[in-house]
Structure 1
Amino acid sequence: MSLDDLVVSTEKIDTVYVTKLQGNLNNFTAEKCIKSVINSLKHGSVILDLEELNMVTTQGIIAFKTLSEEAFLHKHKIILINLPLSVRQAFLMAGVRNLFPIANNEEAAFKMASRPSR
């Protein structure tokens, strides 16, 4: 997989969308990620599975910030699961560690997603 590859796959389960990101989130792929997740946010909360996300650059962090704002506007949640160490470190270095709730597994994420937003 090259630096400009990002596979975004989404599955709807009840009223929640589970989106898996595979590859790299950077200036080449950020727009693809944003468009896909926003499309789901229009209809419900999103669980973002980052297990196969290899790299997040500064542009990727900006994409996550954009998604946080969109989730607020659409009154839905984005819950992260399966964060690789490299992604956790990128969030920590960028100061966005608490941007999204992080669940330990998909089951916990579904419980979080089903709770009403404040």
Structure 2
Amino acid sequence: MSLDDLVVATEKIDTVYVTKLQGNLNNFTARKCVQSVTSSLKHGSVILDLEELNMVTTQGIQAFRTLSEEAFLQKHKIILINLPMSVRQAFAMAGIKNLFPIAQNEEGAFKMASRGVR
């Protein structure tokens, strides 16, 4: 997988969208990520599975900030699961580690998604 590869796979389960990101979130792929997740946010909350996200650059961090704003505007949640250590470290360095709720697993994320927004 090259630096400009990001696979975004989304599945709708009930009223929640589960989106898996695989690859790198950077200046080449951030727009694709934002467009896909924003499209889902228009219809419901999103669980973002980051288990196979290899790298997050500054542009990727900006994409997460944009998604947070979009979730607020759409009155839906984005819940993160399966964060690799490299992603946790990038979030901590960028000061956004508390931007999204983080669930221990998909079951916990579904419970969080079913509760009211913020």
Q: TM-score, normalised by structure 2?
A: 0.99
Deviation (angstroms), 1:116: 1.2
Q: Residues of 2 paired with 1:63 and 1:99: CA distance?
A: 12
Moved over 4 A (4+): none
Q: Residues of 2 paired with 1:71 and 1:60: CA distance?
A: 16
Q: Residues of 2 paired with 1:43 and 1:69: CA distance?
A: 16
Gaps of 5+ in 1: none
Identity over aligned residues, as a percent?
86
RMSD between superposed Cα atoms in Å: 0.4
Per the alignment, residue 53 of structure 1 pairs with: 53
Aligned residues: 118
Deviation (angstroms), 1:64: 0.1
Per the alignment, residue 26 of structure 1 pairs with: 26
Gaps of 5+ in 2: none
| SS of residue matched to 1:17 | strand
Q: Residues of 2 paired with 1:101 and 1:76: CA distance?
A: 12
Q: Residues of 2 paired with 1:103 and 1:33: CA distance?
A: 20
1:73 and 2:67 are equivalent in the alignment:
no
Please give the per-residue CA displacement for 1:19-71, whole angstroms capped at 9, x wherever unaligned.
00000000000000000000000000000000000000000000000000000
Q: Residues of 1 paired with 2:46 and 2:114: CA distance?
A: 10
Q: TM-score, normalised by structure 1?
A: 0.99
Write out aligned runs for 1:1-118 (5 A).
1-118=1-118
Q: What amino acid maps onto 2:95 in structure 1?
A: G
Q: Residues of 2 paired with 1:85 and 1:48: CA distance?
A: 16
Q: What amino acid maps onto 2:63 in structure 1?
A: A
| SS of residue matched to 1:72 | helix
Deviation (angstroms), 1:91: 0.1
